[in-house]
Each structure stands twice: as structure tokens, then as C-alpha cells.
């Protein structure tokens, strides 16, 4: 039997093949290990859900933070300026457009009242609701206006719905400029500052409604300027109409309110006021004929003058005004209208308030075992004295009306749950003439925004 010997060449060839196969296996093994190292393990469903929940939670946190910031910015933009800025002596609600950060400014003020006359009528009334609308065309050209709905609005002739004022201001400096349009006559206190938070009684002071015919607005042109704390206003407006005067309201019924107002006779008005931080004092003067072209009425010249003051010191505050008016040609007016309108009238009032809240706060805390509500800001008690005589000097040739002079003592309180809301209550004891008396209980609610 022949044996086959293995040649050296065959041995070398086999060794070479085995070596190459080893290197190939080593390469693929390393590559497989590297790929396995680089490829992450497939996450489980629970891990994927956990990851998604974490991402959503973070996204919600970011969104909430952004929404809160956006809401804060919106509120800052929408917050109205603080009440209290009296531009050219006007009340804070009326002055809103001058301090608003937005071109369009909208606000309002209003009053509700209840009155019960002893032995007489009991009446509730939407005394007035006055929306205030202003627009800033530029920093030097401003429009301001107010509508007035009185006694529930126009209801069978008993109420009223009218424009209270509507004018353009051309500003030439801080509180300096020219006012054109239907303007509030700058006279007295309440006519320029009619908001119910500014007087404590339920009704406006009677001297400023029966002698100064508030609210008094006429068509005209006014100039105004401020030097330090002294504000000066003056100009020309259409006068009242003597053909409409009434003996019980003096010149009030002669207001024309800018509605097709007869302007045969103009009137001139001047007001000077020192406006301090805690006190103000000023005076007003008005003169103008009111016959409006009717020769039978003569000149029917109206002269009005007043002095006023306000103050606040610690918990005390007060306001006062005196006014006197004169009217010429009263005998001619009486002959034409059959109204014995007085040749001279006088009036005034003084109001003193004391904020009781600091005194009763400890008592309130002891009752509820906690501080009083944070919005509980003021609880003033007040007393006022008013006097007005619409027949200080009767019309020439006429006898004096017996009940022309009214003297009123009023005692009451205000409660302000918010600086822009007030609840009022008072009791008035009024003497009409020499002997007739009247007792009235009144409740009121006022707001400004």
C-alpha cells in the first residue's frame, strides 16, 4: 500500500488559509462588538411613557410661566391711573384722559339715592349715570366728553339724557392751553368736581344747585394756565336766557346747555385757585347780560361771585363755599315772564368730616379676632350747615317769598369699602322761611371708575 506524503507546499498553503480566516473572524467580531456598543438598547414602553410625561410637564411649566407673565403685562396695561389727579381743577374721573397711558380713555361716575321726607314722599332714584369718554390725538391735542343720564334717563319728560360737556384742549404746556367746545363753566367747587366721592352728603350742596346752577355747561372758549400751585382759568361762554328764569330756581332754568344756544349775549368767567397738596382756596367771578336780544327784558345782567376752600389734615377734612348773585332789570323780567326773580341772592355751606376708622379698628379686630378687611379705608362722620336765600333782595315792586330762605343742618356718615365706591347716609333738618320745617332721611350709593 502506497502512502501519500504531505508536501511542504501543501502545509504552507493550509496554514495561510487558516491565518486569513482567523483575521476575518477577528475583524467581524470586533465590528459586531462596536456596532452593539453604539446601538442603544430599545427602551421599554414604561420608559418611553415616563420620558414623554417629563417632556409634557416641562412644556406645561414653561407655558404657565409665559401665560402668567402675559397676564401680568395685560393687567398692567389695563389698570387705570390712580384717581386723584385734578387736571385744571376738574374731578378725577373727568381728568382721566390726561393721565391715561392709552389714547382712548373710558370711565364713569354715578349716584343712586333714597329719600324719605317726614310726613311726605319716599323716593328712590337713579340720580345720575355719567359715562366719561376721552381721546388723545397727540400730547398737545386732547378731546374730553361726558354724557349724562339723570333721574333714570329720559322717561316721560321726568329724566334727562344729554351731553354734559364735549371739548377739545389745545395744550401749550403743563396745564396750560386753550379749551374749545361745550365746557363746564369754571365756577364754584362742585361744578368742576361733581363726583360723589368728593362731597359727603347724599345730595349736592344746595347753594351749588339753587344759586350756582350745577351742572352748568355752555358753549365757549376758555384759556387756562398754571403758575406754581396757582391755576387761572377764564374765557367767554354763551350767557343764560332770562326768558326762562324761574323765581324758585333763580337763573338755573335759564341754562342753555349748548343746545341751539342763543348767543346774542356772551358772558365772561374767571376762576383763580391755589391747589395745594392738602388744601386749596380759590374764587370765581361771572358776568354777562342774558336778555338774548329781547329788548323787553332790558339787559338782564347776571353777576356771580364766590369763594371756596377745601382741606385735609390727618383724619379731618372739610370744604366750604360762599356765593352771591345779582340780577338787573328784574321788574322787566317779571313783567314779561310773570316770575318775580330776585335781584339779589346769597348762600353758602360748610362741611366738616372726621374719619372714625382708626378709632374703631381695635374694636373691630377684637370682635372678629383678625384685622379689618384691607379694602376698609374710610368711615367718616360729618356735619354740614347750608344756607341759601333766593330772595335776599326781591324783584323790584314784588313782595318777598316767605319760604325763599332755606337753612339746613345735616348729620351723616360715609362708608368706603373701596377708594372708588361710597355708601352714604344722612339726616337733614331744614327750616324753610321763618317757621316751616322739614326732616329728611337719605341714603345713597356713589361710584367712580
Give the mean pLDDT of 98-117.
Answer: 94
Burial of 443 (0-12, 13-18, 19+ CB in 10 A): middle
Residue 365, pLDDT > 70, answer no
Cell 381743577, located at residue: 89
Beta bridge partners, 118, equal: none
- Give the pLDDT score at 48: 72
The pLDDT tens digits of the residues spanning 126-136 come to 999 999 999 99
- Give the pLDDT score at 110: 96
Residue 76, pLDDT > 60, answer no
The cell for 197 is: 366721592
Cell 416641562, located at residue: 58
The pLDDT tens digits of the residues spanning 370-418 come to 454 455 568 899 999 999 999 999 987 787 877 789 999 999 999 998 8
pTM of the model: 0.78
Nearest alpha carbon to residue 233 among 175, 302, 290, 164:
175
Q: What percent of the chain has pLDDT over 70?
A: 78
- Give the pLDDT score at 362: 55
The pLDDT tens digits of the residues spanning 36-49 come to 444 455 667 777 77
CB 240 within 8 A of CB 250: no
Residue 31, pLDDT > 50, answer no
Give the mean pLDDT of 430-445.
Answer: 93
Beta bridge partners, 448, equal: 109
- Give the pLDDT score at 59: 67
- Give the pLDDT score at 404: 87
- Give the pLDDT score at 81: 46
Number of residues that this document lists for the chain: 449
Nearest alpha carbon to residue 136 among 161, 106, 177, 165:
106
Least confident of 163-167, 289-293, 359-363: 359-363
φ, ψ for residue 114, nearest 5 deg: -135, 130
- Give the pLDDT score at 112: 97
> Mean of the per-residue pLDDT values for the chain?
84
Give the mean pLDDT of 245-271.
Answer: 94
- In the chain, the domains with their CATH numbers are 82-448 (2.40.160.10)
Nearest alpha carbon to residue 303 among 286, 289, 291:
286
Amino acid at each position: 500500500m502506497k502512502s501519500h506524503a504531505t508536501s511542504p507546499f501543501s502545509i504552507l498553503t493550509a496554514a495561510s488559509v487558516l491565518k486569513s480566516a482567523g483575521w476575518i473572524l477577528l475583524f467581524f467580531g470586533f465590528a459586531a462588538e462596536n456596532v452593539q456598543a453604539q446601538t442603544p438598547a430599545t427602551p421599554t414602553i414604561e420608559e418611553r411613557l415616563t420620558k414623554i410625561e417629563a417632556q409634557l410637564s416641562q412644556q406645561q411649566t414653561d407655558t404657565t410661566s409665559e401665560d402668567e407673565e402675559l397676564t401680568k403685562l395685560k393687567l398692567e396695561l389695563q389698570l387705570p391711573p390712580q384717581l386723584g389727579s385734578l387736571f385744571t381743577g376738574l374731578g378725577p374721573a373727568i381728568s382721566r384722559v390726561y393721565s391715561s397711558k392709552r389714547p382712548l380713555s373710558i370711565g364713569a361716575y354715578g349716584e343712586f339715592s333714597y329719600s324719605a321726607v317726614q310726613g311726605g314722599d319716599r323716593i328712590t332714584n337713579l340720580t345720575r349715570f355719567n359715562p366719561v369718554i376721552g381721546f388723545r390725538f397727540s400730547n398737545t391735542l386732547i378731546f374730553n366728553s361726558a354724557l349724562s343720564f339723570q333721574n333714570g334717563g329720559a322717561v316721560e319728560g321726568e329724566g334727562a339724557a344729554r351731553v354734559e360737556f364735549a371739548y377739545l384742549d389745545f395744550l401749550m404746556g403743563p396745564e396750560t392751553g386753550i379749551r374749545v367746545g361745550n365746557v363746564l363753566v369754571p365756577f364754584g367747587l362742585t361744578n368742576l368736581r361733581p363726583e360723589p366721592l368728593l362731597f359727603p352728603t347724599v345730595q349736592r350742596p344746595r347753594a351749588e344747585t339753587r344759586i350756582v346752577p350745577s351742572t352748568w355747561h355752555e358753549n365757549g372758549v376758555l384759556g387756562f394756565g398754571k403758575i406754581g400751585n396757582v391755576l387761572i382759568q377764564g374765557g367767554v361762554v354763551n350767557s343764560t336766557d332770562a326768558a326762562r328764569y324761574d323765581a324758585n330756581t333763580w337763573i338755573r332754568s335759564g341754562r342753555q346747555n349748548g343746545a341751539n344756544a342763543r348767543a346774542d349775549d356772551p358772558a365772561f368767567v374767571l376762576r383763580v385757585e391755589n391747589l395745594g397738596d392738602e388744601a386749596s382756596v380759590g374764587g370765581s367771578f361771572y358776568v354777562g347780560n342774558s336778555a338774548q336780544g329781547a329788548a323787553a327784558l332790558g339787559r338782564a345782567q347776571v353777576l356771580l361771585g364766590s369763594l371756596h376752600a377745601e382741606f385735609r389734615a390727618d383724619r379731618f377734612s372739610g370744604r366750604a363755599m360762599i356765593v352771591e348773585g345779582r340780577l338787573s332789570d328784574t321788574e322787566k323780567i317779571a313783567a314779561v315772564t310773570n316770575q318775580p326773580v330776585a335781584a339779589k341772592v346769597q348762600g353758602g355751606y360748610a362741611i366738616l368730616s372726621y374719619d372714625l376708622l382708626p378709632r374703631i379698628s381695635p374694636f373691630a379686630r377684637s370682635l372678629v379676632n383678625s384685622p379689618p378687611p384691607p379694602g376698609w379705608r374710610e368711615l367718616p362722620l360729618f356735619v354740614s350747615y347750608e344756607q341759601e336765600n333766593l330772595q335776599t333782595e326781591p324783584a323790584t315792586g314784588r313782595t318777598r317769598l316767605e319760604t325763599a330762605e332755606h337753612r339746613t343742618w345735616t348729620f351723616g356718615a360715609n362708608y368706603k369699602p373701596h377708594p372708588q365706591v361710597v355708601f352714604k347716609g344722612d339726616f337733614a333738618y331744614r327750616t324753610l322761611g321763618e317757621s316751616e320745617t322739614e326732616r329728611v332721611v337719605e341714603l345713597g350709593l356713589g361710584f367712580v371708575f
